[in-house]
Structure 1
Amino acid sequence: MYFRMLHDDSSGLLTYLLADLEAREAVLIDPRPADASVIHAMLAEHGLRAVATVETDAHHAAAGPQPHRAAPWPAPALLRDGDLLPFGAQHLRCLATPGHTHHGRSYLWRDRLFCGGVLSPLQCPEAPGVEAPAQLWESLMARVLPHPPETLLFPGHSCGGWTVSNLLTQRMHHPWLGTASRDEALHAMALRRPTA
């Protein structure tokens, strides 16, 4: 298996490349067109073929699929909750986690959850705020927290300096999950909702 993270220092945005080296198949999570040359080099170094791309927060989903003509990867796959995306002998499982954006998705691979802005939407450089606070709370409670405490969490952007955490740490220290009630969390999110 092959796993790499690309971090854009200026924006904090993160891109992930997962691959089955035996099958030479790769999946990209939240790739940025600006990173096309680096991603192409990573794929070429190991003789990999990008078989799919997925997005977590899909900030532009309402505008329809975005063209990736210059990028060495396919257009984003449109997965529904529960769908499996195979690559070689591996697969990603799509979890609908709306709230930060209405089209939010997280992707589970082994013990790793690629969760976009679900846990740090107020620091997202693409859309600071929460589109639907109540939906986000439900996503956290029903789709994220039930996973084992050792589950590794990979956000869509660095959050307070971290690029990876685990569920136990977030349960203990996240401001909305530690001591805040549902109403307190919704109020905090609502204060930072994006304006139309």
Structure 2
Amino acid sequence: MLDYLFIPGTTHGKLLRRNLRIEAKLMLVVCTQSVIPRRGDKVEVRFAEILVLYMLLHGSPLVPFRFLVLNNIWIGQKIGERKIVPHCQLITALLKLYGAIGAAAKGSYKRYKPFDLTHLGTGWEYKESERYQKMKSDGQRWRALKVDARPLQPREADEPESGDDDYQEDTFAVDVEMGGAGPSGGVPGVGTKSGYMGSAFDYAQQP
């Protein structure tokens, strides 16, 4: 799992976020901003996150959603100041469903910042072209075809990677229109260069 998620030669000692392959690093940002927000310690990757990242990117092993919820609740419980309560909306909905609290009960509200690709934090650079979304982080480059990208006309050439100096080398391209992903073997619709990151989910097609 470590070899799949991290840049080769960086898994000894502390597992640092900057050493994650860019796809895993992006998925970790999604998790820490939208699933179980962190108040600190954003330099390292926790062991509990390794399995989740591997499952999301590789497609296996399948982990029950209940396990993920309980795991995040356990992490929140271990934090002494109790400033993190994961899955607040899910837990609140269940409490209301089973009558533990009334439907009209009002709690305290915390400011929430919706996930935004253009504001991923320090070390990220995001660009956009007509057909592609392009990202850079710690020297790694990644581009993905937009979900709503228009189909190419007959004999129309696709946007060349060499047209953008920032994204010429080691680009990981995901064609979201081709679909198909599985836990075994290669993934249709995913193109790689220089053997970079052998497989990944097509998030436009997979639930």
Q: TM-score range by the shorter chain?
A: 0.3 to 0.5
Q: Which has the higher strand share?
A: 1
TM-score normalised over the length of structure 1:
0.33
Greater Rg over alpha carbons, structure: 2
More helix by share: 2
TM value normalised by structure 2 = 0.31
